[in-house]
Structure 1
Amino acid sequence: MTDPVRLSKRLIELVGCSRREAELFIEGGWVTVDGVVIDEPQFKVDKQAVALMPGARAEKPEAVTLLLNVPVGMSAEAALQLVSPASLSAEHSAGTRPLKGHFLRQEAISTLQANASGLMVFSQDWKVLRKLTDDRSKIEQEYVVEVDGQMAPHGLNRLNHGLMHKGKELPKVKASWQNETRLRFAMKNPQPGVIAQLCEAVGLKILSMRRIRVGGVSIGKVPEGQWRYMTDKEKF
């Protein structure tokens, strides 16, 4: 009888690599135990079949950005708890393999309007973090807002050209009707509460609102409470 050993130790014995290389192979999702990918170097193995996949690279996994369709009223901290391999959108599960390292050191960026649902962005990629921080005033966000009430005369025109409300100048936005009860708002770096103020200024009450896009990145058909990876082709 032999005692179970760390997966990293077994891999070293198997392929003759260094300890650091073994850890990188495992954390990168290149090692299987009885045919199942295991990405934890400390995982204990006994007589299971351990294998290194063809083309394996001893490199630190690339930083990833996660796009979550968050339910209404959820803080970033609570929303991050929803993100796991089990909540990856089935329609977007092909391609990138979820690894334990993908869920570490994720930072929430580009906060939602109060009482809004929809796209929330988490990233461990410094380039994405810097882009959404340094260029926030240039990046357009889009919300779909369910409203109730009768819009004031020329209300849509007023929204698109700027208006005063309770002595405060509100910004110009791109506003249009999606249908009889839903408005689309597109604006750069919306300040907290500004969409509610805009709607109130033209006689409308918000029933719900959902962010669907930040820059060139859309939440798409991801179900509420689920997430997907941002692809290399997408740009904020």
Structure 2
Amino acid sequence: MAEMGMCSRREADEWVENGWVKVNGVVAVMGQLVVPSDRIEIDRAAQDRQEQQVTILLHKPMGYVSGQAEDGHEPAVVLINPQTRWNHDTSKTHFNFSQLKGLAPCGRLDIDSVGLLVLTQDGRVARQIIGEDSTMDKEYLVRVTYGDREVDIQSVFPLDQLARLRHGLELDGEPLQPAQVDWQNPEQLRFVLTEGKKRQIRRMCEQVGLHVVGLKRIRIGKVVLGNLPVGQWRYLGANEQF
């Protein structure tokens, strides 16, 4: 069911345990083998549970970690409460604290990075963004310095090093996937990546002599950060898709 995109693996286990799955008209059991010709039916109760799951878009500030608290720093999920909901959120969904249960970040933003962070209860969304087979692109604005130069870096930064940023670097002994990298202005680069290794952009820049002084994620797939203020959040809209 997870491979068909119907749910996450964890949800699939829960549905089977609750008796919400039938194979060829018979209630399924854990560990049951299924072949392509089998007919899988899902109880309405499972669908209702899934429809209640929320996906939240947060403009993460600096100083918060994406996932579990670490080194005394709070996780970004502590910012999700009625007071920090963006007052221009058009979603009709009403907030309640049960929505925080199982709400997990889809990918990370470093403690010193800001921008779009997606948190979801929906395993389908998580798989779209960070699943092993995901190729969803993420867009970042990255302010850099070069040696002792903080302005007009574009004019002195070698073109061959820009080409290496686009394709040709390795991290942790593995070649990186091609990336889109272009100058936005003389001090800022725009990166579009389809993978998300730990501190990837910062480490890529280090390899070509650049130092990152500001990093902001502005898009994941088709969903953009837009005008969402720092430290505030909104629900993923009913008509929005990654």
> 2:145 is aligned with what amino acid?
D
Contact 1:146–1:209 under 8 Å retained in 2: yes
Per the alignment, in what secondary structure is the counterpart of residue 162 of structure 2?
helix
Contact 2:91–2:237 under 8 Å retained in 1: no
Aligned-partner Cα distance in 2 for 1:93–1:192: 33
Aligned-partner Cα distance in 2 for 1:234–1:135: 23
Aligned-partner Cα distance in 2 for 1:132–1:167: 24
Larger Rg: 1
Per the alignment, in what secondary structure is the counterpart of residue 128 of structure 1?
helix
Contact 2:60–2:115 under 8 Å retained in 1: yes
Task: Quote the offset at 1:229 in angstroms.
Answer: 0.5
Aligned-partner Cα distance in 2 for 1:124–1:222: 21
Does 1:207 pair with 2:213?
Answer: yes
> 1:89 is aligned with what amino acid?
W
Aligned-partner Cα distance in 2 for 1:200–1:125: 36
TM-score norm. by structure 1 comes to: 0.66
Find 1:128's aligned residue among 118, 125, 139: 125
Contact 1:148–1:205 under 8 Å retained in 2: yes
Distance 1:235 1:136, change over 3 A: farther
Distance 1:157 1:64, change over 3 A: same
Aligned-partner Cα distance in 2 for 1:125–1:167: 33
Aligned-partner Cα distance in 2 for 1:203–1:92: 41
Find 1:229's aligned residue among 210, 235, 241: 235
Structure 2 unaligned segments of length 5 or more: list them.
Answer: 1-47, 69-74, 147-152
Q: Deviations over 1:95-115 (max 9, x none)?
A: 333233333331222112463
Q: Which residue of 1 aligns with 2:52?
A: 62
Does 1:219 pair with 2:231?
Answer: no
Aligned-partner Cα distance in 1 for 2:101–2:203: 37
Does 1:96 pair with 2:107?
Answer: no
Over the matched positions of the two proteins, sequence identity in percent amounts to 32
The number of residues matched between the two structures is 178
Higher mean Cα deviation, 167-176 or 106-115? 167-176
Contact 2:128–2:134 under 8 Å retained in 1: no
TM-score norm. by structure 2 comes to: 0.64
Per the alignment, in what secondary structure is the counterpart of residue 158 of structure 1?
helix
Contact 2:177–2:195 under 8 Å retained in 1: no
> 2:52 is aligned with what amino acid?
E
Distance 1:185 1:125, change over 3 A: same
Q: Cα RMSD over matched residues?
A: 2.6
Contact 1:66–1:122 under 8 Å retained in 2: yes
Distance 1:166 1:120, change over 3 A: closer
Task: Quote the offset at 1:187 in angstroms.
Answer: 0.8
Aligned-partner Cα distance in 1 for 2:96–2:172: 50
Q: Which residue of 2 aligns with 1:84?
A: 81
Does 1:71 pair with 2:45?
Answer: no
Per the alignment, in what secondary structure is the counterpart of residue 58 of structure 2?
strand
Aligned-partner Cα distance in 2 for 1:72–1:112: 9
Task: Quote the offset at 1:154 in angstroms.
Answer: 3.0
Distance 1:152 1:89, change over 3 A: same
Map 1:1-236 onto structure 2 (within 5 A). 62-75=52-65, 76-77=67-68, 78-93=75-90, 95-113=92-110, 115-135=112-132, 137-149=134-146, 150=153, 151-163=157-169, 169-236=175-242
Aligned-partner Cα distance in 2 for 1:202–1:195: 11
Contact 1:136–1:189 under 8 Å retained in 2: no
